[in-house]
Structure 1
Amino acid sequence: MPARPSRRTLLLAAAVALTATAATACGGGGDTADGSSGRVTVRIAYQAIPNADLVVKNQRLLEKALPDADVKWVKFESGGDVNTAVIAGAVDLGLAGSSPVTKGLSAPLNIPYKVVWIHDLIGDNEALVAKPGIGSVKDLAGRKVATPFGSTAHYSLLAALTAAGVDPSSVRTVDLQPQDALAAWKRSDIDAAYVWTPTLSELAEDGEVLISSRELAEQGKPTADLGVVTDAFAAEHPEVVTAWIKAQDAAVAQARTAPDTAAKSIGAELGLPADEAKRQLSQLVLLSAEEQAGPAYLGTPGAPGGLAANLRDAALFLKGQKAVDSVPDEAVFGRALAVEELARAAK
């Protein structure tokens, strides 16, 4: 029998196909099919995470702001998959966790993209859940634990094991997307999983939460869901990036001031009752554009914020786990913060 292609190979093939389709649809370079200058196609990678990004999608805030653009939302299961799609040229903007973005900006990937938005600071919506009878992280030695490799959950799992004095090599870690981890959990193929909502909520129904990403952040290992834009798209379509940031900021404002309305949209996207979507939304920390321009986060032109140092710290940790080849200087991460785009959108 011929060798079965890997999931990553299949994803890359699909991403290339998407790129070809999008290029044909817009005639290449954002032109219309007849070759005249016209509609630009915006390809956005999103994930099933209960934050304001789903409000933007569900309420078509970007489409309303850009009536002459073709906005295509493409769903991905993890930030590692988003990185693969960006490398294939299949998406322009997208959501990826801070760990995948750190890997993307480090060797060997060195993806030419920048961080333009912080979708959320990860809290209790991402956690390590174990089967009954496993009472602590220390008890995971010799056990099988699932998590999507290259994700913020993977980073947090390694941080949790290290903090508990457990050698990560003593744990049988398996690479499973959240829904695949849930299926393995129901078959009793795994002992624990580090994933995010909404899958996390299903695991916690008959499992025990050992530690959450909020607790790890308090221990100095923060994680976040970040918005990235390719360097090429940001340079070619600054007006689209500005509109996208404004739409995200408006959605954050709605989530803060009218959480029931925001939760209704998030629930519709996730197939959840509005009350459950509201509960999951409350587990995240959302930041406005003004807050993101502060020194602790993205910063301002000429003064990159603390996110650059956080990403480099993550790179140091990932290098220790042999997840990246080398650790870039903090200045590399600072240059990858889209502070000029954020400042332009705030005007």
Structure 2
Amino acid sequence: MTTQETGARTGLPPSRPTRRALLAAALGAASVAVTGCSSDGGGSGGGKRLRVGYFAFPSGDLLVKNRKLLEKALPDHTISWIKFDSGASVNQAFIGGSLDIAALGSSPFARGIAGSSPIPYKVAFVLDVAGENEALVARKSTGVTDVAGLKGRTVATPFASTSHYSLLAALEQAGLSASDVKLIDLQPQPILAAWQRGDIDAAYVWLPALDELRADGTQLTSSKEIGAQGKPTLDLAVVSDALIAEDPGTIATWRKVEAEGLRRLASDPEGSARAIAAELGISLADAKAQLSQGVFLTPRQIASADWLGTEGSPGRLASYLTDTGAFLAGQKQIEAAPSEETVRKALYLKGLPDGLA
């Protein structure tokens, strides 16, 4: 959804190693630790492995994990569920070769495919559309009641995330630039600690941390509002190019399981909320409230022209991601925006729409 990515992704002289090569070398040893120490689930397993990155965020993906739907559908695989705090760390894990499939926000994905050394992955599914589950909140004690009031204030968000993107968009819409505030790069849990200490005046972050900020804060805007003004953000699911080449059948099965997770959210809200509550360690009431703030598409909608599209006919998601890249480039967050052709090539549409049945 993390530390800000450092170094250029484009324009490096031939004699210098690319950013991806440098990160891959640095992450070589770390990826083993990430996979081994961060995994908190696995299947009965066989000769194949599947490493799945996820966020502790109310979604159909978290329901799939809790109900072990993927393990049941792929009994011959050893499945590792690896928890991440943000999209920037997911990008780094893909660069290090330690992930096969993962949840990833639309903004970090646009970053990932930008430049001359794009991360080798593709979008294969839409997990949710950001709504009231990501928002900008100011401390009540600051007296700030609108985004414009943040000028000169200290604002935290996880850099290179969908929240970071939405924060920049909110500032622009309020007539401010990033330099008009003091931006701090913090993960959700450190944001809570900084908030409690009084170190920050506002934060843009997602659930469940968001609800804790709302308890003694004033919400200034949300990703739902920003999306309605032309800058939507989404939680996507991406698959590595290596998995696409080596085992497309597993991707097809995983996609059907994720579609089943979305159907269960709609058909069994009570059971779904119980699963989410168990995964997040929260009450059933809180799980229901958090789920109600998300926008979950139906499988049919995902494969429609409005979103991901079908094989041979990419949907509007390509335009949304192209616009996201252009905005990030305009904000100097990336050196150059990926073209729409690049974005279209980064969508994995094989088997759609039938693959979501």
- Shared fold, TM over 0.5: yes
Distance 2:173 2:123 in 1: 28
- Deviation of 1:297 after TM superposition, in Å, equals 0.6
Match of 1:170 in 2: 180
Distance 2:262 2:29 in 1: 32
Specify whether residues 197 and 142 from structure 1 end up closer, same or farther in structure 2 by C-alpha distance, changes over 3 A only.
same
What do the CA deviations read for 1:288-316 (whole angstroms, capped 9, x no partner)? Answer: 22211111111112211100000010011
Asked if the contact 2:311/2:352 (under 8 Å) is kept, the reply is no
Match among 28, 31, 35 for residue 16 of structure 1? 31
Distance 2:270 2:205 in 1: 25
Distance 1:273 1:148 in 2: 26
- Deviation of 1:15 after TM superposition, in Å, equals 4.0
Match among 39, 45, 58 for residue 47 of structure 2? 39
Distance 1:243 1:210 in 2: 41
What do the CA deviations read for 1:236-284 (whole angstroms, capped 9, x no partner)? Answer: 1112111111111111111001111011111111011122111111111
Say yes or no: does 1:323 pair with 2:333.
Answer: yes
Q: Which amino acid aligns with 2:157?
A: T
Asked if the contact 1:103/1:109 (under 8 Å) is kept, the reply is no
Match of 1:123 in 2: 131
Say yes or no: does 1:72 pair with 2:63.
Answer: no
Matched residue SS, 2:238: strand
Match among 139, 144, 156 for residue 134 of structure 1? 144
Q: Which amino acid aligns with 2:178?
A: P
Asked if the contact 1:93/1:227 (under 8 Å) is kept, the reply is yes
Specify whether residues 194 and 114 from structure 1 end up closer, same or farther in structure 2 by C-alpha distance, changes over 3 A only.
same
Distance 1:294 1:113 in 2: 21
Say yes or no: does 1:235 pair with 2:250.
Answer: no
TM-score by length of 2: 0.88
Matched residue SS, 1:246: helix
Distance 1:294 1:231 in 2: 23
Moved over 3 A (4+): 6-9, 11-15, 18-22, 341-344
Match of 2:70 in 1: 62
State the percentage of identical aligned residues. 47
Q: Once structures 1 and 2 are overlaid, which stretch shifts more, 327-336 or 209-218? A: 327-336
Distance 1:274 1:20 in 2: 30
5+ long unaligned stretches in structure 1: 1-5, 23-31, 33-37
Say yes or no: does 1:250 pair with 2:264.
Answer: no
Q: CA RMSD in A?
A: 2.1
Say yes or no: does 1:337 pair with 2:312.
Answer: no
Distance 2:241 2:80 in 1: 19
Match of 1:212 in 2: 222
Alignment: residue pair count: 328
Asked if the contact 1:19/1:89 (under 8 Å) is kept, the reply is no
Distance 1:315 1:238 in 2: 28
Specify whether residues 7 and 79 from structure 1 end up closer, same or farther in structure 2 by C-alpha distance, changes over 3 A only.
closer
Matched residue SS, 2:350: helix
Match of 1:25 in 2: none
Distance 1:204 1:53 in 2: 25
Match of 2:315 in 1: 305
Q: Which amino acid aligns with 1:129?
A: V
Distance 1:288 1:15 in 2: 37
Match among 103, 109, 112 for residue 111 of structure 2? 103
Match of 1:3 in 2: none
Q: Which amino acid aligns with 1:225?
A: D
Distance 2:254 2:193 in 1: 35
Q: Once structures 1 and 2 are overlaid, which stretch shifts more, 320-329 or 122-131? A: 320-329
Distance 1:41 1:341 in 2: 22
5+ long unaligned stretches in structure 2: 7-22, 38-44
Match of 1:35 in 2: none
